[in-house]
Amino acid sequence: MSEPINVVVTGAAGQIAYSLLYQLAAGTVFGPNQPINLRLLDIPVMMKVLDGVVMELEDLALPLLREVVPTADPSVAFKNVAAAFLVGAMPRKEGMERKDLLAANVEIFKVQGEALDKYAQKDVKVLVVGNPANTNALICSHYAPSIPKENFTAMTRLDQNRAQAALSAKLNVQVDKVKNVIIWGNHSSTQYPDASHATVALQSSTKPISLAINDENWLNTTFVETIQKRGAAVIAARKMSSAMSAAKAAGDHMRDWWVGTKPGEWVSMGVLSDGSYGIPKDIVFSFPVTIENGQYKIVQGLSINDFARSKLNITSNELEEERAEAKNVLHEK
């Protein structure tokens, strides 16, 4: 057995955390031989609820879970953490504008960035789940200058999982037979779910998705729009945003970042743009990445047709607008 690692989950009394914490404690994220200490951060009024969550974690009787610390103090929560799940954010309500959501979240991620900078391990892996995740990750990294910018990522794995599930349903195959679907851009309705490089394993052979489905119109319209609007559809049905599926995606994202991707496969992560595929630098943009030894690399050399380029431009423009909006909120030039 390894030494326990410290893992912080913010918004720990909330719905997403409720599904995520079991995965962490059971070993499905960091591996079956990695003990963990959980640091659970939430706001003071949620401490009583958090006590109940701690009781449930104790009652799971899971051997990998060594210590659980509930707290409203960021200096306690972020102390010496190796991994951070930043789930806590102002929740998106039905009909809420993204800029209002962004303004409400800037202050949260400023505080958490400063706490990471001061207390966390310098190689901490930070996953921002709370929306608007891409720009929240950018803000957070800005306030943690001593931690490498590439250590801050935003979750688009939920969108990737949704896209994979939609394609497998269309083809009537198991979801794990579909590989390498890409989510480009923002975790918002401007994202571009791209099946043009994806494959499906059929009984006789592995085929490009485009050939297996053989319906370009469906792939460019119905498929794209369904994934873009899936979060809103869940909110309309549940009256709350995705929780169980978001928690599963957060676990998937961190597990792949921690243990690596399989040969020939890539996953989508919101990472700081280095200019790949003509995307403006210094926005957190979802790219396909491969991961080895805890380090991700953006997949290079994929062909981008005119249709895809137009979609990439729309989502990168939105992210540039969000970055400007965040700077305005922070009264920065």
CA angle 7, 179, 186 (to 5 degrees): 60
Q: Is 105 annotated as a binding residue?
A: yes
Q: Is 230 annotated as a binding residue?
A: no
Q: Is 129 annotated as a binding residue?
A: yes
- φ and ψ at residue 126, rounded to 5 degrees: -110, 125
Rg (CA), the chain: 19
Distances (CA, A) of 129 to 42, 137, 319: 15, 9, 16
Q: Is 92 annotated as a binding residue?
A: yes
Asked about 187 being catalytic, the answer comes back as yes
Q: Is 131 annotated as a binding residue?
A: yes
Q: Is 255 annotated as a binding residue?
A: no
Give the separation between CA 151 and CA 252, rounded to whole angstroms: 17
Q: Is 161 annotated as a binding residue?
A: no
Q: Are 38 and 70 in contact (CB under 8 A)?
A: no
Q: Is 157 annotated as a binding residue?
A: no
| Active-site pick, 142, 187, 197, 253 | 187
Sign of CA dihedral 6, 152, 285, 288: negative
- CA 22 to chain centroid, in Å, comes to 18
What residues form the annotated binding site for NAD(+)?
Answer: 42, 105, 129-131
What residues form the annotated binding site?
Answer: 42, 92, 98, 105, 129-131, 162
By annotation, the residues acting in catalysis are 187
What residues form the annotated binding site for substrate?
Answer: 92, 98, 131, 162
